[in-house]
Amino acid sequence: MDQSAFENVLKWVESYGGYVHPALSVGHSTLTGTRGIIAKQLISEEELKGGPLIAIPNSLRMNAAASQLRLTPVINLLELPPITKFSDCLQTSLLLAFEKQKGSESFWAPYIAMLPATPSCAWMLPENELRIELVLLPSHIKDSEDCLRKAELLAMEYRQEIEEALEDYGDALGLEFDDVQWALGHVHSRSYGDDCSLIPILDLINHHAAAMPLLGVTSDDKIPMTFIGSFFCGRPKSLQPGDELFVNYSFPKNPSALSIFLHAGFLPQEFAKMPIAQLNQTGRVNRIGEQEMGQSVKGPV
């Protein structure tokens, strides 16, 4: 993502009451070796006590609730089945795909414009590429599970869900299979929470197990916000120029490492159970948080 795309989404967020600390920007030369949110200038511990580094209005989220609000009038007009018959992830995906078709006319246009052309989740990979990625997984994972078979079954399940949704809404919303699969891939690899929320700018932050999770707050203007600061192990952590801002993706308790990999497109260090440097040598995990599949270099689940 280039700087201009980040600046456009930043202006859009700020126009709706959001906030991003002026010392923060998107960067490609982070300590983890890929795109993330980094500090351009010093952000001291004293500053961190003064308020969030990033706060995004909840009204800018793309999630199941927003999908129902935006798509239900069209669906009801044509007397189609209720969108709530599908999972929250697919509901969010239908909204994302529908809004992408609108181009610059979409309310979320600045956000959609910054999304990569290819989502990072591994279940979308062609079989030959997926085989290579699975071989590079730590042995305690690939030796204990039939990884390729599970990946194939997962991809089949999602393809069937997409096809079922298109049978109901494809013509009404002007969507095709590739549109919804692209959107579902981004929802799986970038969204937060049980309602599968895509949260602008916050989904650019890479994962670290010791960082703070996203939290909610109401601004002085009574605007519900989702925010993040720089805290490690519960303590403020100053950011030097070039330091990266991290967030804890708050993965479910006792998750399958394979499932995280297939959905998020990377394997967090705490699930890899081996030093990050060793993983970097394999090319399988080259950062503590995000990773773009198929390259030596993505989002939350």
So what's the pLDDT on residue 274? Answer: 47
State the average pLDDT over residues 223-251: 91
**30 in Cβ contact with 135 (< 8 Å):** no
Residues 159-196 have pLDDT tens digits of: 999 999 999 999 999 999 999 999 999 999 999 988 89
- Cβ neighbour number for residue 74 with a 10 Å cutoff: 14
Cβ within 8 Å of residue 150, ≥6 positions away: 258, 262
Q: Which uninterrupted H or E stretch holds 229?
A: none
Beta bridge partners of 10: none
- How high is the mean pLDDT of the chain? 85
Phi, psi of 226 (to 5 degrees): -115, 130
Burial 119-138 (b: 16+ CB within 10 A, else e): bbbbbbbeeeebeebbeebb
Q: What is the DSSP letter of 191?
A: -
> What does the chain come to in residues?
301
In whole angstroms, what is the distance from residue 61 CA to residue 15 CA?
Answer: 15
Q: Per-residue confidence at 268, pLDDT binned at 50, 70, 90?
A: confident
Q: What is the DSSP letter of 103?
A: G
Question: What is the distance, to the nearest Å, from the Cα of residue 250 to the centroid of all Cα atoms in its chain?
Answer: 12
In whole angstroms, what is the distance from residue 112 CA to residue 103 CA?
Answer: 9
Q: Give all strands (DSSP E) within the chain, no chain letters.
A: 19-20, 24-27, 36-39, 54-57, 206-207, 215-218, 224-228, 231-232, 235-236, 246-247
CA distances from 252 to 76, 80, 264 (A): 35, 34, 13
Question: What is the distance, to the nearest Å, from the Cα of residue 279 to the centroid of all Cα atoms in its chain?
Answer: 22
So what's the pLDDT on residue 31? Answer: 56
In whole angstroms, what is the distance from residue 292 CA to residue 115 CA?
Answer: 12
**200 in Cβ contact with 37 (< 8 Å):** no
Residue 177: CA count within 13 A, CB half-sphere: 7
pTM of the model: 0.86
The closest of 127, 139, 148 to 284, measured between CA atoms, is: 139
Instruction: Indicate whether 299 pLDDT > 90.
Output: no
So what's the pLDDT on residue 144? Answer: 58
Residues 122-154 have pLDDT tens digits of: 999 988 888 888 888 887 776 656 888 888 899
Q: Per-residue confidence at 256, pLDDT binned at 50, 70, 90?
A: confident
Phi, psi of 268 (to 5 degrees): -60, 150
Residues 47-62 have pLDDT tens digits of: 998 889 999 999 999 9
Q: Which residue has the higher pLDDT, 27 or 198?
A: 198
So what's the pLDDT on residue 265? Answer: 84
Question: What is the distance, to the nearest Å, from the Cα of residue 263 to the centroid of all Cα atoms in its chain?
Answer: 10
Pair of tokens at residue 236: 């403020």
- Cβ neighbour number for residue 204 with a 10 Å cutoff: 23
So what's the pLDDT on residue 38? Answer: 92
So what's the pLDDT on residue 246? Answer: 93
Q: Which residue has the higher pLDDT, 32 or 199?
A: 199
Percent of the chain with pLDDT over 70: 86
State the average pLDDT over residues 12-34: 84
In whole angstroms, what is the distance from residue 66 CA to residue 81 CA?
Answer: 17
